[in-house]
């Protein structure tokens, strides 16, 4: 507690107009850019009625959030104000005043921590003392109020400017974060996408397969492996650009039959795969048959230079035995090998 002795006296209840004028004040106390010290005449007037308080270094006068009903003037010594929230603090010296909003508004929540930096003597003014000021020299008090209110207005303008700058900095930070996130998403997508065909690549396929398996969503899927027949001959005879167009045609065909929850993938070279979700053997057989028939028809329609080739297809149903995906890949690969041994252009299933 601050111990204060009354120095001046003799006042009446004439502060209503002062309170009405002070009601327009709304900025943070002490956050000034203008002068925050009394001139000689003002200080002499305040000293007549203020209560003298001796305080010691390290003493806390009030802290943020405290309800304030008085203001202070530094007679000697120093007071530190800490506004928090990374705002710049202040050190107040002789004739500086602070906490005035607690007096002018009444029960104002302090917005700074006030700590005694050096042993000091303060003048404390409550409502009664402030009304005594109005009684003794209303003209000088009005001069003080104009300066105090101007300081508040300047504080508000400075605060608005800081908030605008912070909002701009925050917006820039958010924009940079969104841009970085977008770039990371694109990078992640590229690491899972085959550059030539736009299908999922082997890495993306394996990651998706493993995730579905961890989530218990792999049972009931159909794994289809697709291999281009005589693809080396196409490259050797017509060149790699033609070979690339054939691979893109196969990719387009697989993309066309893949549903929203299916995965069409280029595993590498001329090997593709298709993961079909929620199909029974009969439905999956219709899809694989359609792929083989469509490739055959397109090969005949565009055969010089070739834009498509016939396909060898091996497929298997993924069961609920809990095996790793490599097991099911081996099952489908066995079926694909049988299709190729038969000369290709057919579909084989692994029972």
Dihedrals phi, psi of 315, to nearest 5 degrees: -140, 155
**The whole model's pTM is what?**
0.51
**How far is 40 from 94, CA to CA, in rounded Å?**
11
> Residue 30: inside a domain, yes or no?
yes
Q: Scan for tokens 């010290």, then name that residue.
A: 37
Residue at 176 is within a domain: no
Determine the structural domain holding residue 216 and report its residue range.
Answer: 200-350
137 plus 255 within the same structural domain: no
Evaluate if residue 172 carries a pLDDT over 70. Answer: yes
CATH of the domain at 248: 3.30.70.270
Could you tell me the pLDDT band of residue 17, with boundaries at 50, 70 and 90? very low
Number of domains making up the chain: 2
Contact, 290 vs 258, CB < 8 A? no
Same domain, 20 and 101: yes
More confident residue, 326 or 337: 337
| Position 193 in a domain | no
Q: What is the DSSP string of 116-132?
A: EEEEEEEEEE-HHHHHH
Is residue 12 located within the same domain as residue 148? yes
pLDDT 10s digits, 216-265: 777 778 999 999 999 999 998 999 999 999 999 999 999 999 988 899 99
Q: How would you classify the pairing of strands 271-276 and 222-228?
A: antiparallel
Residue 99 · residue 50 · CB < 8 Å? no
Say if residue 34 is in the same domain as residue 114: yes
What three-state secondary structure class fits 137? coil
Domain end, chosen from 131, 160, 189, is at 160
CATH number at residue 85: 2.60.120.10
Of residues 280 and 298, the one with the higher pLDDT is 298
Query: Based on the domain organization, do 156 and 8 belong to the same domain?
Result: yes
Cis bond upstream, residue 305 (ω within 30): yes
């Amino acid at each position: 507690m601050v111990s204060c002795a009354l120095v001046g006296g003799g006042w009446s209840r004439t502060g209503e107009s002062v309170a009405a004028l002070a009601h327009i004040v709304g900025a943070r106390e002490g956050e000034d850019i203008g002068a925050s010290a009394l001139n000689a005449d003002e200080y002499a007037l305040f000293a007549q009625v203020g209560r003298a308080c001796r305080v010691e270094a390290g003493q806390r006068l009030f802290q943020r959030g405290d309800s304030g009903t008085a203001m202070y003037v530094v007679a000697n010594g120093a007071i530190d104000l800490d506004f928090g929230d990374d705002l710049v603090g202040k050190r107040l010296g002789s004739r500086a005043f602070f906490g005035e909003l607690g007096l002018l508004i009444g029960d104002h929540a302090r917005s700074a921590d006030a700590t005694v930096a050096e042993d000091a003597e303060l003048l404390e003014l409550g409502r009664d003392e402030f009304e005594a000021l109005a009684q003794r020299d209303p003209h000088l008090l009005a001069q003080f109020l104009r300066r105090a209110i101007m300081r508040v207005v300047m504080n508000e303008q400075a605060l608005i400017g800081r908030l605008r700058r912070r909002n701009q900095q925050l917006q820039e930070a958010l924009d940079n974060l969104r841009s970085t996130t977008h770039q990371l998403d694109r990078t992640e997508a590229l690491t899972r996408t085959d550059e030539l065909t736009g299908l999922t690549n082997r890495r993306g396929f394996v990651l998706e397969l493993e995730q579905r398996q961890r989530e218990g969503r792999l049972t009931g899927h159909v794994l289809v492996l697709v291999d281009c027949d005589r693809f080396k001959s196409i490259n050797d005879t017509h060149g790699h650009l033609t070979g690339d167009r054939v691979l893109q045609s196969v990719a387009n065909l697989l993309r066309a039959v893949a549903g929203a929850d299916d995965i069409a993938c280029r595993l590498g070279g001329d090997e593709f795969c298709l993961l079909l979700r929620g199909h029974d053997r009969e439905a999956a057989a219709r899809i694989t048959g359609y792929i083989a028939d469509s490739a055959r028809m397109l090969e005949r329609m565009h055969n010089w230079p070739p834009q498509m080739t016939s396909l060898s297809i091996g497929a298997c149903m993924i069961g609920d035995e809990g095996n790793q995906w490599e097991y099911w890949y081996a099952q489908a690969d066995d079926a694909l090998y049988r299709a190729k041994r038969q000369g290709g252009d057919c579909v084989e299933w692994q029972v």
